[in-house]
Structure 1
Amino acid sequence: MQFDFFPSRTLTLYLAKLFATRILAVLIMLVLVLQVLDLLGESGDILAYHGNGQAQLMYYVTLRVPQLISRFLPYSVLLATIITLMTLNQNSEVISMRAAGLSAHQVLAPLLLTSLVISGLSFVFNERVVTRSFATLDAWQAVKYGPVPKDTGLRTNVYLADGRDILYAAQASGPGNTMTLTNVTFYVRDANGAILSETRAPTATYANPGWRLVKPRHFDVADTTSTKPISDLVAPGITPDKVRMTSIDSDGQNIFELSRSIEAMRAAGRRTSELEAAWWHKISGPLAALLMPLLGAVAAFGLARSGQLLIRAVIGMALGFAYFVLDNAALAMGNFGGYPPLVAAWAPFVLFLLVGETVLVRTEE
């Protein structure tokens, strides 16, 4: 049996079932509590729109629950790991398994297998359900919980660079080459980034190439004079496709849609490191569940009557929460360009995999 990764079939099924039921119980408890708190905070805004009532509150819950499940499933696996292993330790079941010749890795093998299955289910759930939930809820919140209009390609607070110059629009709406910009300002800058002049207009339409300003007014910074510009065409290097790519929500796109968005932005010469980190994290994020049995394994070994079981449980919990903190910090650094996308998404996972394995090996020795 020493050469088998899993213990006997009966013991594997027993541990896997025990672990899975505790994950489900902890997840339901966390989601219920957090959903109630979240609904208390949002119900005022939902009911503030005339005509909204109980149906809209329940609709919000159906959109929010998948997001809570996705976010707190790894926490549930961590807490379930500690609860399961503490219970096995207190009942001397771990000692019995070790006395039967099982190694620490064999004791944890059913838990790791269960976590791997949960990681796979979490990935599918995120891609099929959670992304749609994010996209729908964002669109609903954008209209203050009112009726959601059909997609008009609306973008707000658009900033785009045309060489040194900057084009700003408060809103951009309309499909394809019929796109219209509202409250437009075009900034002309020098090599040092200082603004030489600005041209304002209430609207602008795409002239292919460039944008035609309607009733523009030109202001020269050096002369502090306001005049009508010689030409009403600006920003020839900016197209409607570039405007549409200014707002890409990685949470609202599945991994295939996000891949296409990244390729489109890269072809347009836009920075894609933030989206690439999010793409990799769509894979590494669900795999966080696989780490939790390793990080919480410290609660399984050692004598329960030694009085250190609580301390071991706290250490396991601290290791798990340290992973989540470092994972969020690495993603933030990746968004700012401090880490390459691959490192930002995978470095915390690899680091804590090694930490968990080291703790387990030391425990076994």
Structure 2
Amino acid sequence: MIFTTLGRYFLTRYAVTTFWFLVGIFSLVFIIDFSEQASRLSNLPHYSITAALLISAFRIPTILQQTVPFVALFSAMAALISLNRRYELVVTRAAGISVWQFLRPLVLGAFLFGVLAVLALNPLAAWGAKKEEAMLAALGSSRTSDAGSIPWLRQIYQGTDTIIGARSVQDGGTTLINVTVIHFDPQGSIILRQDAASAKLEDGYWLLNDVAETRSGQLPRRLQTAQLRTNLKPEFVQERLAKADSIQFFDLPRKIEVARSFGFSTNGMETQFHSLLSLPLLLVAMTLIAACVSLKFSRFNQSRSVILGGILSGFVLYVVTVLVKAFGSSGIVPPFVAAWLPVVVAMALGSTILLNQEDG
């Protein structure tokens, strides 16, 4: 069925519908995000319209990545409703083709869409996030991509205890922006505070730029550069500060192994890896849900309550997937189970409902 003329026609209809949904969401998100960025960054010293447009463009892949399950759901619903209203599904059924046969092209389209999202959209989103951080730093912004998560590092080197904090992270953690360094004596009292515009991890030291040093009982002094000796390695810093959702799919296995070698928890990265692996099947589950509410024939008016039920079912599946993913990242549920269980259950329920509707 998939490679027949009818199968190719159904697959083409699904692909075209998905494409236009993506174009519509891209345009809407870009306009809204540009308006937000322009109002938020307009007071920065190096602000320009071009910079705001570029920042919004870099953010779009990350936002689109979050909407992929809903695009798959709405595309399948729109394609099936359109085929129903044109009597094409009626003729297909009259020709003796079962629902499982004419759904195969749509299921294949959803699966390929998921593969494309993992192999192309995810790396593009990771690249765009790095570019966004770099542009924000160039504009003089201290805003981080995750305002609730300010990175902190602690190092003990040659008898000195130091805490390093930053407003944002670049280059995988080896470059910090808007840095605060606090030095402690052996008794735990603060002896020195350094505030720097940036810090870059070099071989054996942090290079601080545009530094303001404050000591107890002394006037602050400014330095163009300063060095902070360290035994931290770039690989350690990158694993300590890296966020699972900012790592592209192809780098996750290596990052997981490196994190394990340093003794870090890998639950977040393992959950992200399995979530990306299961994304194509999640889109297949969304397609089955769409089929459950879109196959009933109606020439002019599709039942609004049924369509709304399909949308709510897809939304509930997405929320459950995100919630269980959070459990996996925190270690409450094994990462493999957290990523795959909602997908398997949704596919089983969708198939069961379709079997009941079509075969009794």
TM-score of Structure 1 vs Structure 2, range by shorter chain? 0.7 to 0.9
- Correspondence 1:320 to 2:314: yes
Counterpart for residue 276 of structure 1: 270
TM-superposition CA deviations, 1:293-322 (whole Å, max 9, x none):
211001333342797732322222222111
Counterpart for residue 182 of structure 2: 184
Query: Is the contact made by 1:158 and 1:243 (CA closer than 8 Å) also made in structure 2?
Result: no
- Correspondence 1:202 to 2:197: no
Residue of 70, 81, 86 corresponding to 1:86 = 81
For 2:26 and 2:311, locate their aligned partners in 1 and report how far apart those are by CA, in whole Å: 19
For 2:154 and 2:249, locate their aligned partners in 1 and report how far apart those are by CA, in whole Å: 26
- Correspondence 1:254 to 2:244: no
For 2:340 and 2:332, locate their aligned partners in 1 and report how far apart those are by CA, in whole Å: 14
- Partner AA of 1:125 in structure 2: A
For 1:256 and 1:187, locate their aligned partners in 2 and report how far apart those are by CA, in whole Å: 43
- Structure 1 counterpart SS, 2:53: helix
How many pairs align? 319
- Partner AA of 1:168 in structure 2: I
Counterpart for residue 310 of structure 1: 304
- Partner AA of 1:273 in structure 2: N
Counterpart for residue 38 of structure 1: 33
For 1:335 and 1:198, locate their aligned partners in 2 and report how far apart those are by CA, in whole Å: 35
- Partner AA of 1:351 in structure 2: V
Query: Is the contact made by 1:299 and 1:313 (CA closer than 8 Å) also made in structure 2?
Result: yes
Q: Percent identity?
A: 22
TM-superposition CA deviations, 1:124-161 (whole Å, max 9, x none):
213442221122113333555669xxxxxxx9642449
For 2:338 and 2:136, locate their aligned partners in 1 and report how far apart those are by CA, in whole Å: 30
For 1:118 and 1:323, locate their aligned partners in 2 and report how far apart those are by CA, in whole Å: 18
Structure whose alpha-carbon radius of gyration is higher: 1
Query: Is the contact made by 2:154 and 2:164 (CA closer than 8 Å) also made in structure 1?
Result: no
TM-score (norm 2): 0.75
Change beyond 3 A, Cα 1:277–1:83:
same
Change beyond 3 A, Cα 1:187–1:297:
farther
For 1:25 and 1:135, locate their aligned partners in 2 and report how far apart those are by CA, in whole Å: 28
Query: Is the contact made by 1:86 and 1:299 (CA closer than 8 Å) also made in structure 2?
Result: no
Counterpart for residue 121 of structure 2: 126
Change beyond 3 A, Cα 1:295–1:145:
farther
- Structure 2 counterpart SS, 1:318: helix
Worse overlay, 86-95 or 130-139: 86-95
- Partner AA of 1:283 in structure 2: L
